[in-house]
């Protein structure tokens, strides 16, 4: 049985972040979710979950900003919170073909998706190593492995996440801290379900051998396993869950 730990999930206001938060809570952990610009929506969701018997704490942070992440870590320390599990889930898209992509949109995606790996993980991985136990899970994407038209920025940032994962896994392996990547495929989130139905049915679903979108809860269950004691021999891995869309 996995001991009770404290988990921090960035981007906890989104569909996937919420599903991961619920899975880790139901696995017996104390769960903290972060938000940036969605305080009201995050608070409403936490209140809804409280009515179901689940308790989540929320903290504000801009994962793209190093100083904001440092301030978050200080607030957690002041509140007596020790982070044992870190799920780097926050991320954004700014899609365009490279010929039409602005430097600003390139930089925004890199800061939010890739720089955030350093900003959030660097101050938290040391204390995990000192205590001799930790779980770090970095959320990448199927498009970080296969590429996607109009997503040179996003695909590059998500591919970079796994290089980060492998190197950090080597650094922390002897300290009882595992570091893994999860690469979801297309999920039934608000963003994907907002795609026009004809695009979904004619462009996206035909790429997926299972013939459907993934459920955020399926990714949540995978993350909960990776964060368990039972997954202690898994580190430096990139676990794909994409319905067979990209096999490697």
Determine contact, residues 86/121, Cβ cutoff 8 Å. yes
178-211 exposure pattern, b = at least 16 Cβ within 10 A, e = fewer: bbbbbbbbbbebeeeeeeeeeeeeeeebeebeee
Q: Helix, strand or coil for residue 179?
A: strand
Q: Round to whole Å and give the CA distance between 126 and 39.
A: 29
Q: DSSP letters of 133-156?
A: -EEEEEE--HHHHH--TT-HHHHH
Active site (annotated) includes residue 186: no
Determine contact, residues 106/157, Cβ cutoff 8 Å. no
Which residue of the set 35, 59, 154, 186 is catalytic? 154
Of the candidates 181, 178, 207, which has an alpha carbon nearest to the alpha carbon of residue 195?
A: 207
Measured CA distances, 106 to 37, 163, 170, 183, 234 (Å): 20, 19, 29, 21, 33
Tokens at 143, concatenated: 């498009």
Tokens at 205, concatenated: 């679903």
Q: Which residues are catalytic?
A: 154
């Amino acid at each position: 049985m996995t001991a009770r730990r404290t988990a921090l999930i960035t981007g906890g206001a989104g569909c996937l972040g919420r599903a991961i938060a619920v899975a880790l809570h139901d696995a017996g952990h104390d769960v903290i979710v972060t938000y940036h610009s969605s305080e009201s929506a995050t608070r409403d969701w936490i209140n809804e979950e409280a009515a179901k018997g689940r308790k989540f704490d929320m903290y504000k942070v801009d994962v793209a900003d190093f100083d904001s992440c440092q301030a978050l870590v200080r607030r957690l320390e002041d509140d007596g919170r020790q982070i044992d599990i870190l799920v780097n889930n926050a991320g954004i898209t700014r899609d365009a073909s490279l010929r039409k992509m602005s430097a600003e949109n390139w930089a925004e995606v890199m800061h939010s998706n890739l720089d955030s790996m350093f900003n959030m993980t660097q101050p938290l991985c040391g204390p995990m190593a000192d205590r001799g136990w930790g779980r770090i899970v970095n959320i990448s994407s199927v498009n970080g492995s296969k590429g996607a038209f109009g997503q040179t920025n996003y695909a590059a940032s998500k591919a970079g996440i796994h290089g980060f994962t492998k190197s950090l896994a080597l650094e922390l392996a002897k300290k009882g801290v595992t570091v893994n990547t999860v690469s979801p495929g297309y999920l039934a989130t608000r963003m994907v379900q907002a795609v026009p139905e004809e695009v979904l049915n004619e462009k996206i679903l035909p790429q997926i051998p299972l013939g459907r979108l993934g459920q955020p809860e399926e990714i949540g269950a995978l993350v909960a396993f990776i964060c368990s004691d039972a997954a202690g021999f898994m580190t430096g891995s990139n676990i794909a869950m994409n319905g067979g869309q990209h096999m490697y």
